[in-house]
């Protein structure tokens, strides 16, 4: 007999926010690595994207709804600039934590500091600048309702 589970018991986890830093746990899978079992460098960008998306979810910012552009205030985020400093390597089956901290809110941009950590040691440090755009693809001011959720 199969026990009935509540969907919340098996849904993916979004991590947590403490002192304005979002912590997102992630395990390295075989698909993330090269033939030597080391994480391929471009996959760190994917890990950080997942962490940013989950941070927005935890803040109550519905990116799916934003992408539908239901009204004139709807915006979306696009990465405009990324700086990465690789300090170490993750390997197959490692448990990582990606931290994300908003360090600056501009009128039409958000700057975030992200780190990929293994056992508290930084493997990748990054600064990500995301632009805020409207449905026409042009820069747009960050709506106050969204900006307030970041609590800088």
- For residue 56, the Cα-to-chain-centroid distance in whole angstroms is 8
Span 1-58, pLDDT tens digits: 567 767 666 667 899 999 999 999 999 999 999 999 999 999 999 999 999 999 999 9
Q: Is residue 106 part of a domain?
A: yes
Number of other CB atoms surrounding residue 147 within 10 Å: 17
Q: Is residue 136 part of a domain?
A: yes
Q: Is residue 5 part of a domain?
A: no
Span 104-133, pLDDT tens digits: 999 999 999 999 999 999 999 999 999 999
Burial class of residue 133, CB neighbours in 10 A (0-12, 13-18, 19+)? middle
Q: Is residue 11 part of a domain?
A: no
Residues noted as catalytic? 34
Q: What is the pLDDT of residue 48?
A: 98
Place of tokens 């405009």: 80
User: HSE of 50 in the Cβ direction (CA atoms, 13 Å)?
Assistant: 18
Pick the more confident residue, 68 or 133.
Answer: 133
- Print the domain residue range for 35: 18-150
> Can you give the pTM of this predicted structure?
0.89
Provide the domain count of the chain: 1
Q: Is residue 4 part of a domain?
A: no
Q: Is residue 10 part of a domain?
A: no
Q: Is residue 40 part of a domain?
A: yes
Structural tokens at position 64: 């799916």
CATH of the domain at 109: 3.10.129.10
Q: Is residue 50 part of a domain?
A: yes
């Amino acid at each position: 007999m199969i026990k009935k589970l509540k969907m919340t018991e098996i849904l993916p986890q979004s991590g947590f926010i403490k002192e304005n830093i979002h912590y997102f746990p992630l395990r390295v899978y075989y698909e993330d690595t090269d033939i030597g079992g080391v994480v391929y460098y471009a996959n760190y960008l994917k890990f950080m994207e997942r962490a940013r998306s989950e941070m927005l979810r935890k803040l109550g910012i519905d990116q799916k709804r934003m992408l539908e552009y239901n009204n004139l205030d709807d915006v979306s985020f696009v990465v405009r600039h990324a700086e990465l400093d690789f300090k170490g390597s993750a390997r197959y089956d490692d448990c990582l934590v990606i931290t994300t901290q908003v360090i600056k809110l501009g009128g039409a941009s958000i700057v975030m500091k992200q780190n990929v950590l293994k056992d508290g040691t930084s493997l990748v440090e990054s600064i990500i600048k995301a632009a805020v755009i409207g449905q026409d693809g042009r820069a747009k001011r960050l709506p106050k309702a969204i900006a307030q959720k970041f609590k800088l």
